[in-house]
């Protein structure tokens, strides 16, 4: 068996800024063998700052300025960790995350941007929003604008700081408010005598534009405090404002001051090759960095221009070659939006304005974003030139094999194989055919035992360990048992000894935390090397009473589901680069949530199972067959993961879908929701048959605990079958 080259070096990109996004795009075109690439960013998308003012004005939708880091990392073969750095030990080559996780690296790079928060102003943190990070500001602005349109708040806005950013945002908000109300007030507050950051010719044009758009400029005005409905100035003036934005300069992230990094005014000082002074294994770029050899203002253009040099120097550092210097241009073109579709341009002290400049800026910005729309995708398996008899011409899969439960064998194949096994001869094995877990008599106690493993669908071993542990615990919870112990099976791709140790430590610590929170302990396991990451757990549980099986359902019972379906379709789309990164992030977060509390709520269920590889229809049919009942599902009531229906309608299917469809036919189902009934689920919800007079109260209790529970149908007398209405 030919295994991929072993991983020998960890490259960690801290932050999803413009430079790192461009490095990832270039890496996707030509990855460096032996490198495990990791990206750390708080969100699954990274907004492009150049389009922010026009988004605030309403010219762009929110997703038009988002770089989808999930898709980008998939194309680059990188693992994405949705978290943010809180500390960095450069000498020890470790980065600490807000979740408590600690990552070791061989080479790392910082591109975490800046903040416009102004904590020195009393009331800012409680009553204002910083222009950066812009995703928070953009979200708050949309909510405020909606409240203005509904007449729930006054249309009074104040912007602190009359540099280029403050001017652009003030005019953008004035433009948007003018289309919602005629009584809007927008104030621009500046401590200096006039606008800052531009030359005289540009400043004159901006002053005229502000006046034309009704923005009131307050110069030589220092802010004393901010309240819920006003900005109080040092000279005693009070400016009514229900939405206050801080845009007065660029501030470094506070946690950098607690590191051993060399700083200039709080920004990380770098050498000409973008390495941090004194640390050969750490780079920094973008607004968080200070280029001591060529100081420049905080502008995105420098991060974009630095990206190719950073990419080449990262590869050089990882391969032992020489790095090269970054020489930023001395001047750059400023294109300043004026709220409406017009702009001012400045370069070399000259200024121009007009609608044509906004159109030019729009083309530049869209061209930049287009770089992240067409990305390399995981190729389909090649069709063999010659094949053995028995295979249809079109039997070679057109898509990569799915991970998680999408990689499971079909239900019909498994059932036929298991049916051929001899019946147990031991009288302490109490299992019934099709139970979620084996039932064992141990002394006077009923013990249940299950095993499950998953082919990795995410490159982050910690996230994969959490989800796999939750998935394996599902069978224990579904039988009403208390988790007891677990053993682990870990297959790692080829790695150096150092990376093996890092990865195994991450996996085992993450899994142990999940099991301990559930009341169980990891007591051992087995590890080996293979072509790809695969994790599994064998879990035991103890039953205080009789285990809950598939066979106890009664006619008239209501079917309750605790979690949406559609994970297999979304994960299949993600492997093809066709899923929305925000949907992937929400899905993985939900899959990593334990369901022990839901199992306790449902402990009086007549029958219960967890929805996994055979899809919702397959697991409903399992209860029907074991209890000799018919199921009537309300298709519209079945909860779906966001994005799943659209992907299913577009023809996306998990590789397990055809077998699931054949094994559990459903009458009356149609459309995308009907397709998703057969979608394989990983770490899926609990499916319970409960007394009808208890169902509503149980769902309310489950929702109060944070579960997306729903009543999806009922059971009745009749031959085992599923019908949708």
Exposed / middle / buried, residue 442 (Cβ in 10 Å: 0-12, 13-18, 19+): exposed
CA distances to 170, 181, 184, 371 from 149, in Å: 18, 7, 11, 36
Q: Helix, strand or coil for residue 494?
A: coil
Please tell me the number of Cα atoms within 13 Å of 463 on its side-chain side: 19
Both structure tokens of 3: 């295994």
Using alpha carbons only, give the angle 422, 424, 429 rounded to the nearest 5 degrees: 155
Report the alpha-carbon distance of residue 608 to residue 346 in Å, rounded. Answer: 68
Per DSSP bridges, beta strands 289-291 and 267-270 are parallel
Tell me the pairing of strands 521-529 and 629-633.
unpaired
How is the chain split among helix, strand and coil, in percent rounded to 5?
Answer: 35, 25, 40
Asked if 460 contacts 412 with a C-beta cutoff of 8 angstroms, the reply is no
CA 483 to chain centre: 29
Peptide bond into 133 cis (omega under 30): yes
Among 454, 711, 463, smallest CA distance to 587 is for: 463
- Nearest CA-CA partner of 405 in 629, 659, 177, 36: 659
Closest by CA to 51, choosing from 305, 288, 368, is 368
How wide is the angle at C-alpha 322 spanned by C-alphas 320 and 328, nearest 5°?
Answer: 135
For β-strands 267-270 and 263-264, DSSP reports them as: antiparallel
Of the candidates 580, 589, 600, the residue with the CA atom closest to the CA atom of residue 642? 580
Residues 167, 188: contact at Cβ < 8 Å?
Answer: yes
Is 405 an annotated catalytic residue? yes
Selecting among 288, 405, 624, 724, the annotated active-site residue is 405
Joined together, the tokens standing for residue 312 give 């080449």
Residue 425, CB half-sphere, CA atoms under 13 Å: how many?
A: 2
| 710 neighbors 561 (Cβ within 8 angstroms) | yes
- Going by their DSSP bridges, the two strands 107-110 and 279-284 should be labelled as parallel
Dihedral of CA 180/185/191/196: which sign?
positive
CA proximity to 300, closest of 276, 334, 339? 334
Contact, 673 vs 635, CB < 8 A?
yes
List active site positions.
Answer: 405
């Amino acid at each position: 068996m030919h295994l991929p080259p072993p991983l020998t070096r960890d490259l960690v990109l801290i932050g999803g800024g413009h430079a790192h996004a461009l490095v990832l795009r270039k890496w996707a075109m030509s990855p460096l063998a032996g490198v495990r690439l990791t990206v750390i960013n708080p969100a699954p998308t990274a907004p492009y700052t150049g389009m922010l003012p026009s988004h605030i004005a309403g010219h762009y939708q929110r997703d038009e300025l988002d770089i989808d880091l999930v898709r980008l990392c998939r194309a680059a073969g990188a693992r994405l960790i949705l978290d943010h750095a809180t500390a960095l030990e450069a000498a020890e080559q470790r980065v600490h995350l807000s979740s408590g996780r600690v990552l070791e690296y061989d080479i790392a790079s910082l591109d975490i941007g800046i903040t416009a928060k102004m904590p020195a102003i009393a009331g800012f943190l409680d009553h204002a929003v910083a222009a950066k990070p812009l995703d928070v500001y953009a979200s708050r602005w949309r909510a405020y604008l909606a409240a203005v349109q509904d007449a729930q708040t006054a249309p009074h806005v104040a912007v602190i700081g009359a540099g280029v950013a403050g001017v652009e945002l003030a005019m953008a908000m004035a433009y948007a408010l003018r289309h919602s109300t005629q009584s809007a007030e927008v104030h621009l507050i500046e401590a200096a005598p006039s606008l800052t950051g531009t030359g005289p010719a540009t400043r004159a044009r901006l002053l005229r534009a502000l006046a034309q758009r009704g923005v009131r400029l307050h110069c030589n005005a220092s802010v004393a405090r901010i309240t819920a409905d006003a900005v109080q100035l040092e000279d005693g003036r009070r400016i009514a404002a229900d939405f206050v934005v801080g845009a007065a300069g660029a501030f470094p992230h506070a946690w950098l001051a607690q590191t051993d990094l060399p700083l200039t005014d709080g920004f990380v000082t770098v050498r000409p090759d973008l390495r941090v002074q004194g640390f050969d294994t750490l780079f920094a770029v973008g607004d968080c960095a200070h280029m001591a050899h060529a100081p420049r203002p905080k502008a995105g253009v420098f991060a974009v221009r630095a990206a190719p040099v950073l990419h080449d120097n990262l590869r050089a550092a990882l391969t032992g070659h020489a790095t090269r210097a970054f020489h930023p241009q001395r001047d750059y073109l400023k294109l300043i939006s004026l709220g409406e579709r017009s702009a001012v341009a400045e370069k070399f002290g000259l200024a121009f304005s007009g609608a044509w400049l906004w159109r030019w800026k729009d083309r530049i910005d869209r061209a930049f974003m287009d770089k992240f729309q067409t990305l390399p995708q995981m190729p389909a398996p090649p069709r063999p030139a010659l094949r053995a008899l028995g295979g249809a011409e079109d039997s070679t899969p057109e898509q990569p094999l799915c991970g998680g439960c999408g990689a499971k064998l079909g239900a019909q194949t498994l059932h036929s194989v298991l049916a051929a096994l001899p019946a147990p001869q031991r009288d302490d094995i109490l299992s019934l055919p099709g139970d979620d877990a084996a039932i064992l008599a141990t002394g006077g106690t009923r013990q249940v035992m299950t095993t499950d493993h998953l082919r990795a669908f995410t490159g982050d071993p910690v996230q994969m360990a959490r989800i796999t542990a939750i998935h394996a615990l599902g069978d224990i919870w579904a039988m009403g048992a208390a988790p007891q112990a677990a053993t682990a099976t870990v297959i790692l791709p080829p790695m150096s000894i150092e990376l093996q140790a890092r990865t195994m430590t991450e996996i085992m610590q993450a899994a142990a935390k999940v099991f301990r929170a559930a009341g169980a302990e990891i007591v051992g396991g087995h590890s080996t090397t293979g072509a790809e990451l695969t994790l599994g757990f064998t879990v035991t549980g103890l039953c205080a009473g009789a285990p809950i099986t598939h066979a106890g359902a009664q006619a008239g019972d209501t079917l309750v589901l605790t979690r949406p379906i559609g994970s297999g379709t979304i994960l299949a789309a993600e492997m093809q680069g066709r899923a929305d990164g925000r949907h992937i992030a929400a899905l993985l977060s939900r899959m990593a949530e334990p369901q022990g509390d839901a199992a306790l709520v449902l402990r009086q269920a007549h029958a219960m199972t967890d929805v996994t590889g055979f899809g919702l229809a397959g697991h409903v049919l399992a209860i029907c067959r074991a209890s000799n009942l018919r199921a009537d599902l309300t298709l519209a009531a079945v909860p779906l993961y966001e994005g799943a229906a659209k992907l299913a309608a577009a023809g996306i299917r998990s590789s397990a879908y055809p077998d699931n469809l054949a094994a559990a036919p459903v009458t009356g189902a149609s459309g995308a929701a009907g397709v998703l009934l057969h979608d394989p689920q990983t770490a899926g919800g609990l499916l319970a048959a409960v007394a009808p007079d208890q169902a509503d109260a149980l769902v309310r209790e489950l929702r109060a605990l944070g579960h997306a529970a729903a009543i999806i149908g009922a059971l009745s007398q009749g031959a085992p079958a599923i019908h949708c209405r």
